[in-house]
A and B are shown apart, each in its own frame.
Chain A
Amino acid sequence: MKRKSLIAALTALSLIGTGILTGCGEKDTDTNRTASTEQKYGDTYPIEASTTLTYWVDFPNQSTTGVTNFADLPFYKAVKENTGIDVKFTHPSSAEQNNMMLASGEYPDIMEVDFYNHPGGPNKAISDGYIIALNDYMQYAPNLRKYLEEHPEADKMCKTDDGTYYAFPFIRGDKSLIVFCGPMLRQDWLDELNLEVPTTLDEWHTVLTAFKNEKGADAPLSFLVDTLKSSTTFAGAFGVRSGLYVEDGVVKYGEAEPGYKDFIATMRQWYSEGLIDKNVATLDSKILDSNVLDGKTGAMIGNVGGSMGKWTEAMKSIDPEFKLVAAPYPSLNKGERVKFGQYDNMVQSYGSASISSDCQDVELAMRYLDYGYSEEGHMLFNFGEEGVSYNMVDGYPQYTDLIMNNPEGKSFTEALGIYCRPNGAGPFVQDPRYMEQSASLPEQQDALQVWSDNDAEQTQLPRIILTEEESDRIARIKSDLDTYTSEAFMSFILGTMSLDDYDAYLNQLKTIGVDEYVQVYQDAYERYQER
C-alpha cells in the first residue's frame, strides 16, 4: 500500500512537471483535473451525468452490421441505457488516421489505441501528454480493481514497471482463449491412406511424402512464413522458436540459438523434396486459400476459425468428404513434450482503452469504462441482451438463433458484432463460453485442446516494457536484425544460401548487435519479474 501511494504521488508530480513544460498550450487541463479528483458520481449505474464523452475506436465490421457508428448498434444503446452515460463515437478507418489524431494534439476523452507499443512505453506516452496515468482515479473503477485483485497475473501485465496503470485492458479470461493457432491436416486424406495424425517430425515427413505421392498434392504443406514463425511449429521440436522467448529466466533470441540450424536444415530438406509449397516465399493468404480449396495442400498452419472453420465451410460445396484435424505441435522424439506453441498473452495491447490528457471529466470516463468489467457489463459485452441474443439455459448463456442461425443470413461473427463485442478486442474480459459456441465444430474444439498441450506458457515472453532509452538503443539493431534474419531464413530454405555459411550467419548476427538486443530485453524482463 505504501509503495502504491508513493508511486501515485510520483506520477502526480511528474504530471505537474509536464504541465509546466507544456503549459504554453492554450488550455491547461492538468490543473483542472487535479481539482476534479473529488468524487462527483455515485457508485451505482445508471449515473446521472450531463457530460457527453468522446470515444475513439476502430469499427472494422461496419459494412456487415449495417450501421456506421457504435451509437446506433443495439449493443451500445444498451450500454448507454445501463450506464446512463452518453458517448459520441468516432471511428478511424486506418492506422494513418490514428496517427494523425495523435499527432494533431487534440484528443477525444477515451481512445482505444495501443499505447503499450508506444516507443518508450506507456510511461512515455503519459509524459508526452497523450494519455494520463489512472492510478489516482482507480477508486472510480471498482469492478476492474476487483478483477485485478482476484487475478494478480493479469494485474502484473496491466501496469508498467513502476506500477502505473495506463489503460482499461482487453483480457482473455481463460486459457482456451489464448491458444488458437497451430498445425492441421486433412483428416480425410489421412484416413484414406491409413495414417495416424503425426506427432513427430519423422511422422510428419512420412505423411507429407504420402500426400505428395499418393494424393498428388503439388504442395503437401503450405503456410504463410509469418504464421510458421509466430506459431513456433516445427522449430519447437528442436527446442527453439523464432524471435524472443524466455527459458529458465534467461531471455533468448531463437535465430541465434543452436537448435535453429536444425530447424532450418529440416525445412530446407522438406522444401527440396517438394513437401513444402514451391511458392512458399511468395505465398499470401489468397494463394493459401486456393491451395487448400483446390486440393493441392493437405497440411497447413492456421487459426481455428479464420483458417480451419473458413476452409471447412467453403469446401462443403466442393468436396463433402473434406475434414480437417489439428495435429499437436510436433516433437523430435515420440512422446517428448515440446516447450513451444502459439500462445498469446492474457492481457493484450490491442483493444485497450486509455483516457486522454484532454479529458475534462476523468471520473465519468473511468466509470464508463469500468462498466465493461462489472457483472452486468461482462454479460452484455460477451453475450448481449438476455432474451434477445442469448438465453440462460441451466446457468449457461446460450446464444439464440439470432446469432447462431441468423434469419437475415448473417454469419456468426456478423450477427455477434451487432449485439455484443466478444469477437473484437475491447475493454472487458473475454468469456470462454463465447469461444465454446463460436468454434462450434468438434474438430475446432479438439484443436484448442491439442494445441494447448505444451509448455508454451513458460517460455512465452511476458508483456515487458522497454524504457525510452532502451527503445532508442535497439531501434537500429532491431530493424537490421529483422531484415537479416528473415532474409537469411528464406535463403537457407530455398537453397540460395548454403548451410556451410551458417557460421558466417551467426557472426553477422553478432555484428549487428544481437547480444545487446537480447541484453536489453533481459533487463526489461528482470524489471518485469520484480513488479
Chain B
Amino acid sequence: MMHIKRSRGEILFNIINYIVLTIVMVVCLYPIWHVLMASISDNVEIMRYQGILVWPKGFDLGAYGVVMQNPAIVSGYINTLFVVIVGSALNIIMTSLAAYVLSRKNFIMGKPLMVMIVITMYFGGGLIPFYFTVRDAGLDGSLWALIVPRVINTFYLIILRTAFMSIPDSLEEAARVDGASHIRILFNVVLPLSMPTIAVLILYYGVGHWNEWFDAMIFLRTDRDKYPLQLILREILLQNTMADSTVINTDNRPDIGETVKYALIIVSTIPILCVYPFLQKYFVKGVMVGSVKE
C-alpha cells in the first residue's frame, strides 16, 4: 500500500464526494422507506394523506396479517425461488458458453454469429408467434417456460463477451501451450478472471427472474398453483382497477386496503434486496493483476 500526501484539492474533493453520495443515499432510500412506513400505517389515514411520508400515519400491522393469510404467497415464494435458482444457474452456464465462443479472436464465424445474435434483440414476431414456439416445445403450463425460452439474454451476453475480450491474450496462450482444451480454458482461466462481471450477471438474471410476471401470465394461464410471487402481487395491486372498470362497485368499504398493497410490496421485495450485499464480495480489485504475475 502506498501512502501519498494528499493535496488540498483532494481533501476538498473527498468532502464533496461524501456529501454528494450521502444525498444520493437519502434520495434513493426514500421510496422504500415510504412504502415501509405506509405499510405499517392506518389504512384510512393513508388514503387521506398525500405528500412525503417520514413516519407512519397512525400505527397498524394488520396489513401484514392479511398478506400472510393469503395462501398464494407461500406457493408464490416456492415457485419464484425455483425459477430464480435453477433459471439463473442455466443462464450463467449458457451465457458463458456463448460469450466464450463469441469472444475468440481467431474464430471466423464469430462475427457472423454476433450479427445474427444482435438482430434478435430488435426483430421479433411479437407475442403470438413466441407463444406458439414455446407451446410447440411442450413448455406451456410448466415453470420451465419461464426458464428455457429466455436462457440467454443477448444484452447480458454482450456484456460478458466484452469482459472476456478484455482478458489479456497472453493468459490464454499460456494455457494453450499447456495443452488445455477450450472448456478448460473457459472454466479455469476465463471465468475466474471475470468474477466481477459474473457476479453482476447473477444479480441481473436473478433479479430479472424475481421480477418476472409477464411470461408467467402468458404461459401459466391455467395453473394458478404455479404462479410466481410477482404475478400474485400484480394481481392484487391491480385488483381494484379491474373491478372498477367492469362492475358497479356498490360496496361501502374499499375492496383492499392501501396498506395491504404496501405490505405486499415489502414482503415480495425484501428477500431479493438481500442478494446484492452477498455478491459484493466478488467486487474485488486486482484479481487480474495477481494472476498476470503468476
Contacts and interface: CB of A to CB of B under 8 A. Distances in A.
Given A60-B239, A63-B239, A309 B251 contact: yes
Interface in B224-266: 224, 231, 235-236, 238-239, 242-244, 246-256, 258
A309 B244 CA distance: 14
Interface in A99-135: 100-101, 103-104
Nearest to A412: B251
Given A96-B218, A306-B250, 6 more contacts: A97-B217, A293-B48, A305-B249, A305-B252, A411-B253, A425-B247
A93 interface: yes
Interface in A54-78: 58, 60-64, 68-69
A305 B248 CA distance: 8
Given A60-B239, A97-B221, A413-B250, A317 B44 contact: yes
A103 B248 contact: no
Contacts of B217: 93-94, 96-97
B75 to A, nearest CB: 10
B131 A309 contact: no
List of 4 A-B pairs having minimum Cβ-Cβ separation, nearest first: A305-B250, A309-B252, A306-B249, A413-B251
A439 interface: yes
A76 B224 CA distance: 19
Nearest to A105: B132
Interface in A266-310: 285-287, 289-290, 293-294, 303-306, 309-310
B120 interface: no
A438 B250 contact: yes
A100 B231 CA distance: 16
B52 to A, nearest CB: 14
Contacts of B235: 62, 93-94
Given A100-B221, A103-B128, A424-B247, A60 B242 contact: yes
Interface in A422-457: 423-425, 435, 438-441
B207 interface: no
Contact of A60 (B218, B243, B258): B243
B49 interface: yes
B221 A61 contact: no
Nearest to A315: B44
11 contacts: A93-B231, A177-B248, A294-B50, A304-B250, A306-B244, A310-B253, A313-B253, A413-B251, A414-B255, A425-B247, A440-B252
Contacts of B114: none
Interface of A: 58, 60-64, 68-69, 90-94, 96-97, 100-101, 103-104, 177, 180, 285-287, 289-290, 293-294, 303-306, 309-310, 312-314, 317-318, 350-351, 411-414, 423-425, 435, 438-441
A188 B70 CA distance: 40
A303 B132 CA distance: 42
Given A60-B242, A61-B239, A294-B49, A91 B250 contact: no
Contacts of A92: 221
A294 B251 CA distance: 21
Given A64-B256, A68-B72, A104-B131, A289 B47 contact: yes
A423 B247 contact: yes
B14 to A, nearest CB: 42
Contacts of A286: 47, 50, 258
Given A304-B250, A309-B250, A425-B246, A413 B47 contact: no
A316 to B, nearest CB: 9
Given A91-B224, A314-B44, A64 B255 contact: yes
A58 B243 CA distance: 10
B280 interface: no
Nearest to A68: B224
Contact of B48 (A104, A309, A318, A435): A318
Contact of A351 (B47, B70, B246, B255): B246
Given A63-B239, A90-B222, A423 B251 contact: yes
Contacts of A293: 44, 47-48
A50 B243 CA distance: 35
Contacts of B251: 305-306, 309-310, 411-414, 423, 438
Contacts, number: 135
B224 A63 contact: no
Contacts of B47: 286, 289-290, 293, 314
Contact of B249 (A69, A303, A441): A303
A314 B243 CA distance: 19
Chain B facing A: main interface SS: helix
B127 interface: yes
A58 B235 CA distance: 12
A97 B132 CA distance: 14
Interface in B184-242: 214, 217-218, 221-222, 224, 231, 235-236, 238-239, 242
Interface string B46-82: 0111100000000000000000001010000000000
A306 B249 CA distance: 5
B135 interface: yes
A45 B254 CA distance: 39
Nearest to A349: B246
A350 B249 contact: no
Q: Which of A100, A285, A317 has the most CB of B within 10 A?
A: A100
Contacts of B256: 63-64
B249 to A, nearest CB: 3
Contacts of A424: 246-247
A348 B251 CA distance: 20
Contacts of B244: 285, 306
Contacts of A313: 252-253
B200 to A, nearest CB: 31
Given A97-B218, A318-B44, A104 B249 contact: no
A441 B135 contact: no
A282 B135 CA distance: 42
A411 to B, nearest CB: 4
A285 B245 CA distance: 12
Nearest to B66: A63
A68 B226 CA distance: 13
Contacts of B252: 305, 309-310, 312-313, 411-412, 440-441
A310 B218 contact: no
A494 to B, nearest CB: 21
Contacts of A64: 255-256
Contacts of B48: 289-290, 293-294, 314, 318
A328 to B, nearest CB: 20
A196 B258 CA distance: 35
Contact of A101 (B72, B221, B250, B258): B221
Given A60-B242, A63-B239, A100-B218, A310 B247 contact: no
Contacts of A441: 252
